[in-house]
A = this chain, B = another copy of it.
Amino acid sequence: MKKDATTEEKIKEAAKQVFMAKGFAGCSSREISKAAGMNVALVNYYFRSKSQLFKIIFETAMEDFVTSMMTVFSSDQSIENKMRIFIDREFEFLSKHPELPVFIITEMNREEGCSIDHACFFEKIAASGIFNECAQAQAEGKMREINILSLTLLIMSNCQYPIMAKNLMQGIHGISDEDYTSNLLLHKQNVTDMLVNYLFPINSKTTK
């Protein structure tokens, strides 16, 4: 009987994979324990309940989600460069964690999901000052003056939806996984150009 954290970590890792793929309701404690190669009773021994385990996994996912954005926010760059880098980073991050946006959005839409306190995560974004920075750039005429929610939506829609709707798009266009992935790289350039074009019209003549 090993006293180290291996069992707990194994269950957490398995839970992360299974919960992200199937959501809370879509998988059982037994499925998770089987994926971890551990006895099902250990879910309760280490995490007290399936719900508690889920809470931990969800919060870690939110943390990763927010952290993937934060590194750009605090960098010493113009707001336009920040957006360019943000888009690059987001496409790269999501190519490695493709289930993340769907997971977060669907579990936030779930009633029980809403009971998990998300405020701490979102406050980090606000605390980064990125929204103030955007408002400042707008006031100085460096960026199109649209409201901050709309700005967030324009950027995040174009970064996250292509990953989320992969299967839908493959169905509509009849293309393979490989083709979709390679097309995403090209698409990222279109996203960047379009957003720069619209949000930074003064500078956007360089992108045709």
Contact A171 B26 (CB under 8 A): no
* Cβ 8 A contact of A198, one of B156, B161, B194: B194
| Bound CA–CA A183/B151 (angstroms) | 11
Judged by a CB distance under 8 angstroms, whether A5 is at the interface is no
Is A14 located at the chain interface by the 8 A CB criterion? no
Q: A193-B198, A198-B193, A198-B198 are in contact. Are A158 and B158 (CB under 8 A)?
A: yes
Q: Out of B26, B102, B148, B190, which one reaches A105, CB within 8 Å?
A: B102
How often does this chain occur in the complex, in copies?
2
**Closest approach, in angstroms, between the C-beta of A104 and any C-beta of chain B?**
7
State the CA gap A80–B94 with chains docked (Å): 31
C-alpha gap A208/B106 in the complex (Å): 37
Residues of A at under 8 Å CB distance from B? 22-23, 25-26, 102, 104-106, 108-110, 114, 118-119, 121-122, 125-126, 146-150, 152-154, 156-158, 160-162, 164-165, 167-169, 171-175, 180, 183, 186-187, 190-191, 193-195, 197-198, 201, 208
Pairs A–B under 8 Å by Cβ, sample size 12: A22-B110, A23-B26, A122-B174, A148-B173, A149-B173, A149-B180, A149-B183, A152-B169, A161-B161, A194-B194, A194-B197, A197-B197
